[in-house]
Amino acid sequence: MTAVISKLRTGHVGLNVTDLTRSLAFYQDALGFELLGEGKEEDRRFAFLGQDGELVLTLWQQADSGYATAAAGLHHLALAAATIEEVRAYEERLRGLGVEFAYDGVVAHGEGRASGGIFFHDPDGTRLEISAPAGAEASPAPTSGAPTCGFF
């Protein structure tokens, strides 16, 4: 009998960070993740972050330098919001914390697209996106002829 194979979905994302304390504060304060568990041994520091008790992100203090855009691996971490109003609320929260954005506010995912969001970086330079499936119709698309999320 052949085993039934279901469709895969992303379970959680693991990011290497240079300073767990700094990154943990960012992901909790800026993005509202809750701490589900952590390892505090000097050579094995990590944190499990989630929402409503579900694991979403793991931070591993294993990097000795910041994010490298030219290296193979993670291009960016995209987080989904239900509405463009939620995206704008995150934008306001992030601006209040002094986070710099790749583009000025909400931008469309591409020319004529309804979906869009905000693009920024975590303390190690990892590229992050928060987007919604609709509501960005009137927003600019900063990269002509290509997906906005591909070139920031």
> Long-range contacts: 96-99, Cβ < 8 Å, 24+?
97/29, 97/30, 99/30
> How confident is residue 62, by pLDDT bands cut at 50, 70 and 90?
very high
What percent of the chain clears pLDDT 70, i.e. is strictly above it? 99
Burial environment of residue 64 by CB neighbours within 10 A (0 to 12, 13 to 18, 19 or more): exposed
- Give dist(CA 68, CA 75) in Å, integer: 9
Q: Rounded to whole angstroms, how far apart are CA atoms 115 and 138?
A: 10
Can you tell me the mean pLDDT for 122-135?
Answer: 97
Q: With beta carbons less than 8 A apart as the criterion, state whether 79 and 128 touch.
A: yes
Please give the mean pLDDT across all residues of the chain: 94
Average pLDDT over residues 100-118: 95
Range 85-108 average pLDDT: 96
Residues 6+ apart with CB under 8 A from 112: 141
The pLDDT of residue 1 is 67
Q: How far is CA 78 from the centre of its chain?
A: 5
Q: Which two tokens stand for residue 108?
A: 């469309």
Contact 136, 108 (CB under 8 A): yes
Looking at residue 152, what is its pLDDT? 86
What ranges in 30-116 are assigned the alpha helix state H? Answer: 84-96
For residue 96, give every residue at least 6 positions away whose Cβ sits within 8 Å of its Cβ, in sequence order, or none.
none
